[in-house]
């Protein structure tokens, strides 16, 4: 029980780091090397937390767990971007955040491609993990293939 709880905590931390890396992908920084260094460090920290979570679960069904982490981080980031986009049409938002305040978050090509890549990787891993567990037609029991 403690291993499961600890692995869920590690997966949550990993998802947070992947989300942070996807967030930094939207930053339009003049020295582009700094942006990629910060993004890379966040991905490495996320990978370490993910490996800790996988090790706590003794690497049982890693494709499913990694897929869930990647897909949840990408979904959360996509929801955040959609929320900011919707808020940008309200007059209160324009008063609080003038247009020049959000200019540093304008690298949409890198940000959306990062969300798409990790979202697709998460979907593929989940699909792969679910294809391994198919119901047996004769007994309706789940068998490992």
Q: Is the CB of residue 104 less than 8 Å from the CB of residue 28?
A: yes
- Cβ contacts of 2 within 8 Å, gap of 6 or more: none
What backbone torsions phi and psi does residue 123 show, to the nearest 5 degrees? -65, -45
pLDDT truncated to tens, each residue of the chain (145 aa)?
A: 888 999 999 999 999 999 999 999 888 877 778 888 888 999 999 999 999 999 999 998 899 999 999 999 999 999 999 998 888 888 888 788 777 777 778 888 889 999 999 999 999 999 998 887 666 555 555 555 5
At 10 the pLDDT is: 96
Single out the residue of 91, 102, 127 nearest to residue 26, CA to CA. 102
What element of type H or E holds 144?
strand 142-144
As a whole number of angstroms, the distance between CA 107 and CA 23 comes to 10
Return d(Cα 12, Cα 72) in angstroms, integer: 10
- Nearest Cα to Cα of residue 71 among 28, 24, 26, 129: 129
**What pLDDT score was predicted for residue 136?**
54
Q: Which two tokens stand for residue 68?
A: 């869930």
């Amino acid at each position: 029980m403690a291993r499961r709880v600890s692995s869920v905590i590690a997966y949550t931390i990993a998802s947070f780091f992947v989300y942070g890396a996807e967030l930094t992908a939207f930053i339009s920084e003049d020295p582009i090397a700094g942006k990629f260094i910060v993004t890379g460090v966040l991905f490495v920290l996320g990978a370490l937390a993910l490996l800790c979570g996988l090790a706590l679960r003794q690497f049982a069904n890693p494709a499913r767990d990694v897929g869930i982490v990647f897909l949840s981080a990408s979904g959360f980031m996509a929801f955040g971007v959609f929320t900011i986009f919707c808020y940008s049409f309200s007059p209160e938002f324009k008063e609080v955040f003038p247009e020049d305040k959000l200019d540093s978050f304008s690298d949409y090509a890198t940000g959306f491609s990062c969300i798409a890549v990790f979202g697709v990787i998460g979907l593929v891993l989940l699909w792969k993990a679910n294809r391994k567990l198919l119901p047996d037609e004769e007994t309706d029991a789940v068998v490992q293939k």
